Amino acid sequence: MSVSNYKRGVGLFWLCLVAAPVARAQSPVRLDGWCRGHHIALHRDGKSDDSPCVAAAVAYAESHDQPLYIPAGGPIAMAGASQVMLNNITLYGHDWQDRGAAGQAPGRQGAVFWLTDRGRSPFLLGENSVTLEGLNFFWPDQSLATPVPVSYPALFRPIRSGGKTEAFKFRHGTVMNAYDFLDYHAGTIGNVEIAGSTIWAIHDAFQLYSVPEVFLVHDCLFSMAADRAQKTPLAAWYARNGTWLTAGGNGSDAAVSSVGVAMQAVNTYVYGARYGIHVLGGNGSAGNIYLGHAIGGGFDAVETVLQLDPDAAMGAFTFSDQYWYAAHYDAPATPIAHGAVYIPAANPHAATQITFSNLYVSAHGTMFDMPGTQGMGPIIHGVTGFICAGLADASCHFVIAGAHVLVRGNQITGIGTNTRNFGISVTGSAVISGNMFRNLVNSVRIVAPAFPVALTGNVSQGTTGQHDVTGALGANLAASGNAWSKP
């Protein structure tokens, strides 16, 4: 290119740049100023219903393609006079989370909604993208001292049953004493992102039956009364009934995803619930989670981290680099009902290629109770596991597995007094290699002789039974390089 042509090109570039219109971010609508300017009351006293003002301001901001800013101040009462329709809008609040000072309800520092309507959901999501950031939600009439919670409607749900929402983002918020947080058991939501938030939903944090794209949760705490881990009657109810994620079906075959082509839970900590992830069953409408990863964080005082009901399915999913404490929050000396992972019944789609990697797990009972695994079964490696922890007398296993399981490089210890601790019980083919077994009755039980089982490079200490390996020891058993304390 000649110098003259180069200069001509540069000149045209600058001419186009100067002549092109400059996109400017829309200035936000400020809630208090807008309500005052339109002569709609905004009391912010936590008692007088402010929902008509909020609904009108949201509708105005949406129609003018502007975000809505909610400044700090007193609590905004949502008592049911109006439901807020969120369709294509961003709501953001004063940039801090307001959990309330010791002994005080939240609502004095941040942008806080107080929810008291027991009949209808306060916020309904439309077809487009909705973003909420820096907002706080509190149910003042939900008492921690009551043994049964008030079953308020979900904080967020679709505008109509069966409705579809493109995307929902909830960032840097606080939710305290909700009954349900996000309920899409009768709708489809394309993308969900929950980030940097503290949420306590007493019944279900998430009910998701159809998420065809992404479900992403990162850097969040899901805990009783937000970050106040107290042994209260309501916390005990949560320990028996609460669930972090309930995944159901959308009426299609179980092979069709209901949650997450890319479900990701990153650095997320769930405390005190009955279930972590519960995938519901049901012929023709079972839930299915696949292509996902839960990494970092963990499940603490959660009795069952993962349960797949009959006909439910999970595939190509990994749990890694987490801490699990599988126990009854309100009765730690009682054995958990099943396992930290519970897959009870076989079906064609159940538990294909689930990996449990680099976990530290203490279970008040059996750890991986998975007789229903099928196909390309689970992989368990790098787990440091303590079974029957804190129990005086119980029968516990590290793994109970159906078909095709790989158990490699784990450290398994039975603890407690007079417990009946067992290592791995398999009814199908298995590769069991490089594991360390401590203080167990038996290290390996082989139930069915028809399937090949390979035992290589395992070590045991303190075995209390007659032999480390028991059961159907036939021609399909291949063993080499093991150092058993009770051969």
Task: Render pLDDT for 170-210 as a digit per residue (tens, 0 to 9).
Answer: 999 999 999 999 999 888 888 999 999 999 999 999 998 88
In angstroms, the Cα distances linking 65 to 25, 72, 90, 132 are: 10, 23, 9, 15
- In 3D, which of 51, 290, 311 has the Cα closest to residue 59? 51
In the prediction, which pLDDT does 252 show? 47
Percentage, residues of the chain above pLDDT 90: 57
In the prediction, which pLDDT does 449 show? 74
Residue type, 418: N
Give the separation between CA 351 and CA 259, rounded to whole angstroms.
15
pLDDT of 227 over the 70 cut: no
Token pair in block for residue 310: 């009959």
Token pair in block for residue 383: 């787990």
In the prediction, which pLDDT does 108 show? 62
pLDDT of 452 over the 70 cut: yes
Task: Return the SS3 of 481.
Answer: coil
Give percent helix, percent strand, percent coil of the chain, each to the nearest 5: 10, 45, 45
Q: How confident is the model at residue 255 (pLDDT cuts 50, 70, 90)?
A: very low
Residue type, 16: C
HSE-up of 3 (CA within 13 Å, CB side)? 0
CB 218 within 8 A of CB 266: yes
